[in-house]
Homo-oligomer: A and B are copies of this chain.
């Protein structure tokens, strides 16, 4: 049994950034970093919005943070109590991750006694535009209390400011901020209305880049002064009149009251957990880690949309430009397929709707077909820069090739769509544009195929595989196999079109495509396990790179923040890789390899992997399970499940801040429990399992959805009991 509560009981200024991620709440429309109400932009406060972006000058394009209507602090007897200034005598941050409730409690010792401030807040799961907060102040002596609360327009941005203008207004009791973005003149409107359980001596509103009420009270000792904040957020992407909508909604929810809204919110969460909770008997740490991971995925799932995806750092801020990476399809999708297939569909619909952007990108580089954005924003715009890393030695931007050479991105989309239709039996995604995505991705890879003159072997050269430390390599095993998968999928889709006599909008010559993809699928070079060692070379020439232990390699660092990859990074000319690469391929295509090959490659590549990406550990965990080594998998499972609890992970790439939550890692932790330890797989319409549980796990229970039916899975003693329940 777990407590569903994560707590942090000491106050440490250095943890403000990490705690912002750890205590994040959200509802897919917005994410609210786990910061205190009195914090400002220097403390990385963010109400991060999904699917809306802005660019200033040539700086990176990134998602918007809304003006912060949670902003609140107190003054007591003329003294401000406003962290991070001063020292609290106690400070607790807590997250009830069952219900997405952020809580905090700070108390301050003064000459006369003690002052306590408590906070509870949530981003409504019932209506994604709503944020609610309860703010309570208690002292054990009488005094003059001023509570300042309102909207802070001094928004934290990495590459901002994004609002050319923020207009503040007041309509009766509603405070309103109306901000206009720089690039597209989008509007972001935040309305706020409060309610309180006391008689204020005076209330007046002040404006100074913030719109803030000053509420003055003759405070009596022992009485808890409570303020309830009702906040709504709308943008011009949501509706025509975001101000009107937000003001109307804020009045409605004000009428309803905090506790009713909280109750509805919790009921919604209970429903969500009903199909997604995982119960592990015998390992509370794992149970907590996996459900906390699932919590994060739920908090950022775009349930409010039919076509939207999840950024690599969720809704925890502007890191990685709020962009969608392959993380979504390859690491998060399985969770949603098993628990909420509609969300999975929304994620993939986003890719179908951004096909045009992918075709434009391909065409920009002189290729046919669809080359999906490495860092996808609205309309499939690729936010990825040609210069993603700053050289710590020169301060210059370094040319990286993530955008133009990491071609495996397109195959991830194909992989996601194929998995969706096979898992749900819902072929609408194919007929509603999925077929075109798949054919155009296959066209893209076909257009990239090279062959030596006189040879029948097709190659993919000058690419980057999942391991980003080795740039511009030839015949990356993962990339080539995924390209082959794309050709195979295109052939499947063409067969479906023919068999079902669908009429695609495009005038494809299906026969021509079929023969082209058939040929490519047969002749594309897939690196084989070496005869003697069974090792699959990650790319051409990998075997002749310097073999050095990671710890010895680290000794070569001249600067902690220097980039390991690129042309001259410490890892570039060595066998040390950033993350699972061949192992990722083996996980996906394990049916094609013997357990021995998987084991030997695991043993070979694992010590050479820095795990510098949060996408690495789960792949090693999954393949370890497939090799019957759950206890070797276990530490990698924890690494996947806990990064946001532990506040670890890389915070820097060169001089670029990359902190935030790790939803792909959460999705990886989920896959490890369900598909690794649980050994669940889907075959011929049947949910099957080959469990492989870590020592100490007495039982493992969860539900999975397959072909529109829901199954309860109970595993004990490595035996699975699988029952259809809906």
A268 is an interface residue with CB less than 8 A from chain B: no
Contact B391 A568 (CB under 8 A): yes
Contact B462 A461 (CB under 8 A): yes
A671 is an interface residue with CB less than 8 A from chain B: no
Q: Report if A399-B573 is in contact (Cβ < 8 Å); known contacts: A391-B568, A393-B393, A567-B567.
A: yes
A396 is an interface residue with CB less than 8 A from chain B: yes
Contact B399 A572 (CB under 8 A): yes
A202 is an interface residue with CB less than 8 A from chain B: no
A472 is an interface residue with CB less than 8 A from chain B: yes
Contact B449 A450 (CB under 8 A): no
A394 is an interface residue with CB less than 8 A from chain B: yes
Q: Which residue of B449, B516, B573 is within 8 Å of A452 (Cβ)?
A: B449
A441 is an interface residue with CB less than 8 A from chain B: no
CB proximity to B under 8 Å, residues A235-270: none
Per-position 1/0 for A506-524, Cβ under 8 A of B? 0000000000100110000
Contact A453 B450 (CB under 8 A): yes
Q: Which residue of B393, B446, B451, B566 is within 8 Å of A394 (Cβ)?
A: B393
Q: Which residue of B393, B447, B453, B568 is within 8 Å of A451 (Cβ)?
A: B453
Nearest chain B residue, comparing its CB with the CB of A472: B472
A702 is an interface residue with CB less than 8 A from chain B: no
Nearest chain B residue, comparing its CB with the CB of A516: B454
CB proximity to B under 8 Å, residues A447-465: 447-454, 458, 461-462
Contact B568 A398 (CB under 8 A): yes
Neighbouring B residues of A399 by C-beta, 8 Å:
567-568, 572-573
Q: In the assembly, what is the distance between CA of A451 and CA of B520, in Å?
A: 14
Nearest chain B residue, comparing its CB with the CB of A520: B453
Q: Report if A394-B558 is in contact (Cβ < 8 Å); known contacts: A453-B446, A520-B453.
A: yes
Neighbouring B residues of A394 by C-beta, 8 Å:
393, 558, 568
Contact A453 B462 (CB under 8 A): no
Neighbouring B residues of A458 by C-beta, 8 Å:
453
Neighbouring B residues of A454 by C-beta, 8 Å:
446, 516
Per-position 1/0 for A457-489, Cβ under 8 A of B? 010011000000000100000000000000000
Q: In the assembly, what is the distance between CA of A343 and CA of B453, in Å?
A: 38
Q: In the assembly, what is the distance between CA of A399 and CA of B573, in Å?
A: 8
In whole Å, how far is A442's beta carbon from the nearest beta carbon of chain B? 12
Nearest chain B residue, comparing its CB with the CB of A447: B452
Pick the most buried of A396, A461, A568: most chain B CB atoms within 10 A of its CB: A568
Q: In the assembly, what is the distance between CA of A718 and CA of B568, in Å?
A: 54
Neighbouring B residues of A573 by C-beta, 8 Å:
399
In whole Å, how far is A16's beta carbon from the nearest beta carbon of chain B? 33
Neighbouring B residues of A391 by C-beta, 8 Å:
393, 568
Per-position 1/0 for A429-451, Cβ under 8 A of B? 00000000000000000111111
Contact B568 A396 (CB under 8 A): yes
Q: In the assembly, what is the distance between CA of A450 and CA of B459, in Å?
A: 10
In whole Å, how far is A567's beta carbon from the nearest beta carbon of chain B? 3
Neighbouring B residues of A452 by C-beta, 8 Å:
447-450
In whole Å, how far is A190's beta carbon from the nearest beta carbon of chain B? 41
Nearest chain B residue, comparing its CB with the CB of A395: B558
Neighbouring B residues of A461 by C-beta, 8 Å:
450, 461-462
Q: In the assembly, what is the distance between CA of A326 and CA of B552, in Å?
A: 40
Beyond A450-B451, A450-B453, A451-B453, 11 additional pairs, beta carbon < 8 A: A398-B567, A399-B568, A399-B572, A399-B573, A449-B453, A450-B452, A453-B519, A453-B520, A461-B462, A566-B567, A567-B567
Q: Which 9 A-B pairs have the closest CB atoms?
A: A567-B567, A393-B393, A449-B453, A450-B450, A398-B568, A393-B394, A453-B458, A451-B453, A394-B558
Question: 18 A-B contacts, Cβ less than 8 Å apart?
Answer: A391-B568, A393-B393, A393-B394, A399-B567, A448-B452, A450-B450, A450-B451, A450-B461, A451-B453, A453-B458, A453-B519, A453-B520, A454-B516, A462-B462, A462-B472, A472-B472, A566-B567, A567-B568
Q: Which residues of A contact B (CB under 8 A)?
A: 391, 393-394, 396, 398-399, 446-454, 458, 461-462, 472, 516, 519-520, 558, 566-568, 572-573
